[in-house]
Amino acid sequence: MPNISMLDIADLEKTELAPFIKKALKYKAPDPAFHAMMGHNPELAKAMYIAWGTVFQTGKVDHKLKEIIRVKLSRAVDCNYWGNVRSASAKQQGLTEEIIDEGIDNYEASEKFTEAEKIALKYSELMDTAPEKIDEEFYEQLAKYYTTEEIVELGIYIGFNVGYHRFFGTLQFYPMFAPDGRLVDQEESRTIYGDLPVSHLKGPTQRATMNNAAE
């Protein structure tokens, strides 16, 4: 069970959070479970959602790359919420679970990523685990592929995610969407996604299909 109570979405849809819940149903990262948790503090919930939308959905850095970075960082700290939600926009742009897995497990050797994408993924990895290694030389390498504006965008986005995922991971809750797009309760979501966030190709998609067929 989640470590703090989750508010009822139907009740929240009658509050000032209603338009944000509507967006969450559309974009799915975050999904409405975000508001079920953060809605305990409505003003901060709105501010956090707006800030997240700005760093994730806007800017010059490719949205698909941001999605890979997001999932990579969430898995690193075992955040079952952010590690299992998926951006509807990134999917529509062609991002697959296979590419996400490659970006997490094998990006340095992979031919699926450009050198610019590889150094961005490395930037996220170091920011989370060894920020002392992000020195002048590393920023010089980044500058070969990104403008200063884009480096700032990446840095803010990565830093935002590192903090978000650590906090949300302690809350121990799950997405409201199954991999097949169905809205599910927390009990079914945990059954589908398991105790730790892993590739959706390693069980969650199959379990979601089986649960749906059994209904």
Determine, yes or no, domain membership for 150. Answer: yes
Q: Number of structural domains, the chain?
A: 1
What average pLDDT does this structure show over 97-126?
A: 97
1 within a domain of the structure (yes/no): no
pLDDT digits (tens, 9 = 90+) for 67-79: 999 999 999 999 9
Say what the pTM is. 0.93
Categorize the per-residue pLDDT at 203 as very low, low, confident or very high, splitting at 50, 70 and 90.
confident
CATH number for the domain spanning 186: value is 1.20.1290.10
What torsion, rounded to 10 degrees, do the Cα atoms 59, 65, 70, 73 define?
-130
Computed from CA positions of residues 85, 97, 127, 137, in that sequence, does the dihedral angle turn out positive or negative?
negative
Residue 31 has pLDDT above 90, yes or no: yes
Tell me how far apart the terminal alpha carbons of the chain are, to the nearest angstrom.
Answer: 23
- Longest CA pairwise span in the chain (Å): 56
Residue ranges of the alpha helices (H) in 143-203? 148-171, 186-193
**Alpha-carbon separation of residue 96 from 30, 83, 111, 199 (angstroms):** 18, 15, 16, 11
Residue 66 belongs to some domain of the structure = yes
Residue ranges making up the domain that contains 105? 9-214
pLDDT for 1 equals: 84
Whole-angstrom CA distances from 149 to 79, 142, 146 are 29, 12, 8
Confirm whether 193 is domain-assigned. Answer: yes
Q: What is the pLDDT of residues 127-176, one digit of tens each?
A: 999 999 999 999 999 999 999 999 999 999 999 999 999 999 999 999 99
pLDDT at position 202, please? 84
Backbone angles phi, psi at 188, to 5 degrees: -70, -35
DSSP state of 177: B
Question: In this prediction, what percent of the chain has a pLDDT beyond 90?
Answer: 92
- Is residue 42 one of the residues assigned to a domain? yes
Question: pLDDT averaged over the chain?
Answer: 94
